[in-house]
Amino acid sequence: MYTERELVEKVAGGNEAAYKELFTRYWDQIYSTALMFTKSPEMSEDMAQEVFARIWIKREKLKEVVRFDAFLFITARNLIFDQLRQKVFTYEYGLYLTEYFKDPALSPCDSIELKEMERIIRQGIHLLTPQQQTAFCLSRFQGLKHEEIAIQMGISKESVKSHIVRAISSLRKYLNDHSDPLAILVWIMLMK
């Protein structure tokens, strides 16, 4: 059995057996982290597999990593937040949240909090100017890059950036004024 450093060095060198051992050694930790955020075993499994796929693809960069456990956690956290951010307010994730909050183990308050959170965030977006709404929604909910948004909206890339920055600032103020902790948590996930 290798030490963590030896294992990481072997994976960085392309050793598939070492990669399998790394996968086995850290799978439960990454899966559990994803499950804590998503509450979905299927989604957590997909995310954990994606984390390990990315590690293999970028294995040569592992030579620069000093603390693999910290690197692994940050990689997982960033992927989880990216995935959740992409799913927030999509039809598919809306269905997931609806099912999640129907869970009999959850209190009726959880369902009310979800509806209130959605209402507050949608109301904040509705208060943005039309240009800010469009740029923000294309960026955050459809995952388009500034260049793509600029083409779609028929404006410059700098204007897109300006609209998004102003939208984020307005929404942050709106959410702070309404001080709903759950809405602010979702907001933080959207903005990462």
pLDDT in tens, 130-185: 999 999 888 877 778 899 999 999 999 999 999 988 988 888 788 777 754 545 55
What residues have CB less than 8 Å from 172, skipping those under 6 apart?
A: 187
pLDDT beyond 80 at 1: no
Could you tell me if 53 and 123 lie in one domain?
no
Work out how many domains the chain is built from and give that number. Answer: 2
Structure-token pair, residue 22 = 């790394």
Q: Which of 87, 120, 138 is the last residue of a domain?
A: 87
Q: Is 103 helix (H, G, I), strand (E, B) or coil?
A: coil
Is 78 in the same domain as 161? no
State the Cα–Cα distance between residues 140 and 154, nearest whole angstrom. Answer: 18
Clarify whether residues 55 and 136 are in a common domain: no
For 8, 15, 39, 150, the CA distances from 116, given in Å and listed in that order, are 46, 50, 20, 33
Would the pLDDT of 13 be above 90? yes
How many Å from the N-terminal Cα to the C-terminal Cα in the chain? Answer: 37
Do 35 and 112 have their domain in common?
no
**Domain end marker among 87, 103, 127:** 87
Residues 95 and 24 both lie in one domain: no
* Residue the block writes with tokens 């209402």: 119
Looking up tokens 């209130």 gives 116
**For the segment 32-57, what is each residue's pLDDT rounded down to a tens digit?**
888 877 777 888 898 899 999 999 99
Instruction: Round to whole Å and give the CA distance between 48 and 23.
Output: 10
Distance CA 139, CA 146 (A): 7
Q: How many Å apart are CA 99 and CA 61, to the nearest integer?
A: 40
Q: Fill in the DSSP letter of residue 64.
A: G
Residue 10's domain comprises: 4-87
